Amino acid sequence: MSLTPQGEDTSQGEDTPRGDEGAPADPGGRHDGGGHRGGGRGTGRTRRRRRALRWSATVLAVVILGTAGAGYLYYQHLNDNLRKDALNLGDAKDRAAEPEANAAGQTPLNILLIGSDARDSKENQELGGAKETFGSTPLADVQMLLHVSADRTNMSVVSMPRDTLVEIPKCTDPDTGKVYAATVGRRMTNQSLGRGGPGCTVATWEKLTDIHIDHFMMIDFSGVVSMADAIGGVPVCVDANIHSKDSAGHGSGLKLEKGTTYVKGEQALQWLRTRYGFEDGSDLARAKAQHQYMNSMVRELRKNAKLSNPGKLRALAEAATEALTVDDGLGRVDKLYDLAGELKKVPTARITMTTMPNRYVGARVEPTEDATQLFRLVREDIALDGKDKKKTTEASASPTADPAAADDEIAVQVRNGTRTAMLAAVAGRASAVARLLVGEGFTQAVADQSVSTVEETTVVRYPSADLEGDAQRVAKALGIPTSAVKKSTDVSGVTLFVGADWREGTAYEAPKQSDETPESAEALNASDTKACMKVNPGFTWS
């Protein structure tokens, strides 16, 4: 992500991909395999080259649309329009655990909205520009996680900047069998799409966030234009006249007068692609503009009486299914319709857009401690708008299906994870806690004398469901919260990692965690009709 206007791509598409952290950029950043994907609408794999949009706003429109009585949604040709791809290309053992159901048997829903900068058709090339990028490996230049709470009372969206440095896991192309080894060091997250398909982007998110992802959705350039036309326009606001174009040709071409304008068609696409002209010219500013558009679109779709017209609804459905690529779980229109019904339950005032908190690493960014906090809130199904009802306590957590063995039959390894970036590990800490467990009746507890690890907080890990009850029993005996009991294939048995939050003493005190959304996430509520993008003075006109 170019975070300043200087040194950026001169193409109309505006996006300059980069290579590994600390390494020279790959020109275009598109040649790390995956270039075999052809264009057109032939087989499932070649169709995939019509890689979808980085401004997944329109995807949100599709799923929120869901108005009752739209029987045309079940027409077979709409099903035929949809393109499908594998959900997760990582190793099954590395998948994030599925969340537990609440007392009513409901579970959260997590959908990754992803899109690329690929210009792989004549229509998309005309809209996206940059002839030198035609047919190149796609990049996931926008990634947004849409989280719907288990009780369907609220929805959260977390955007990840395209140049976020992450470790990309091993991914296997489901069609060719090609294996993309896990990256050595960090790479930009947008490179994940070119390593076998969108399922690798899903795997990358799960590795970073430990959030289980249920589905993904993508949409292409031409789909944005056709759907914006079908909707009838979306209101957006700028605090000054803007023209996103400079003397060197940088910019989307967006030209608007100060105030609120209804944008549709290609102008809507320009708004969603604009970086030059908004605030500091970074992808962070563009994400804000996308959030404003998405929020406005939700309001329009929910209030606009025109969309109750079957003809207009049909046009929108046709445009959406032509543009969408989804996982197999959403591969039929009735599945999308059912999903829309779930999302429709969430009030507009309970939809919150955020950007992953980050800090600069050169011209790129990395997640901060606030990002870890944001991911935890989503993982634990805590509303980002702060309006949750009081959650039930740990004691009311749903019981495991597999009961615990007797304490003296549970084998427990204890590892020293007290080392931090600033402090050395506490010598003998694993042995001290192992003795504590033995004293509590866990006579098979032993200290692992291997090299100490780094664990911010104390955690109990277990490798398989049949040991979950044992792990929970160990945690309960020491006063460790159930939320700190995690399934992990990195351990061979129940393993207690004594973290930096328990460097001394025999009584564990769980750290107090704030359930407030970090200010650095720049939350924007969907009911906010006063949001207005700040225009960079260098891109205004009179």
Res. 162: pLDDT tops 70: yes
| pLDDT value, residue 164 | 95
The mean-pLDDT minimum among 351-355, 471-475, 510-514 falls in 510-514
* Predicted pLDDT of residue 453: 83
Query: Which residues neighbour 505 within 8 Å (Cβ) at sequence distance 6 or greater?
Result: none
Tokens of 107: 């579970």
Is pLDDT at 501 greater than 80 in this prediction? yes
Residue 485, SS3? Answer: strand
Bridge partners (DSSP) listed for residue 237:
260
Interacting residues of 31 by C-beta distance below 8 A, sequence separation 6+: 136, 137
User: pLDDT for 413-441, tens place per residue?
Assistant: 999 999 987 889 999 999 999 999 999 99
Q: What integer best gives the mean pLDDT of the chain?
A: 81
Percent of the chain exceeding pLDDT 90 equals 53
| pLDDT band at residue 100 using 50, 70 and 90 as cut-offs | confident
The 10s digit of each residue's pLDDT in 37-46 is 333 333 444 3
Q: What is the pLDDT of residue 3?
A: 33
Which pLDDT value is given to residue 304? 61
Q: Please give, one letter per residue, the 3-state secondary structure of 86-153.
A: CCCCCCHHHCCCCCCCCCCCCCCEEEEEEEECCECCHHHHHHHCCHHHECCCCCEEEEEEEEECCCCC
Alpha helices in 351-485 (DSSP H): 369-379, 429-439, 468-478
Give the E-state strand segments of 362-428 in sequence order.
Answer: 364-367, 412-416
Residue 117 has pLDDT above 80, yes or no: no
pLDDT exceeds cutoff 60 at 148: yes
Q: Is the pLDDT of residue 372 over 80?
A: yes
pTM summary value = 0.75
Tell me the backbone φ, ψ of residue 53, rounded to 5 degrees: -50, 145
Considering only the C-alpha atoms of the chain, give the largest distance between any 2 of them, rounded to a whole number of Å: 79
Q: Which two tokens stand for residue 509?
A: 């005190």
Residue-level pLDDT at 169: 95
Whole-number percent of the chain with pLDDT over 70 = 77
What mean pLDDT comes out for the span 98-102? 87
Q: Is the pLDDT of residue 109 over 90?
A: yes
Q: Using 50, 70 and 90 to split pLDDT, how confident is the model at 14?
A: very low
> What per-residue confidence (pLDDT) applies to 421?
74
Say whether pLDDT at 367 is over 50: yes
What pLDDT sits at residue 135?
Answer: 60
pLDDT of residue 124: 47
Q: Tell me what pLDDT residue 57 has.
A: 45
Whether residue 33 is predicted with pLDDT greater than 50 in this model: the reply is no
State the Cα–Cα distance between residues 271 and 262, nearest whole angstrom.
11
Which of 110-119, 244-253, 525-534 has the least mean pLDDT?
110-119
Residue 236: closest CA among 156, 305, 307, 294: 294
pLDDT score of 219 more than 90 = no
Would you say residue 362 has pLDDT above 60?
Answer: yes
Mean pLDDT of 13-27: 38
The predicted structure's pLDDT at residue 485: 92
Decide: 386 and 352 in contact? Cβ < 8 Å.
no
Q: What is the mean pLDDT of residues 110-131?
A: 62
Tell me what the mean pLDDT of segment 348-356 comes to: 96
Taking a C-beta distance cutoff of 8 angstroms, is the pair 17, 185 a contact? no
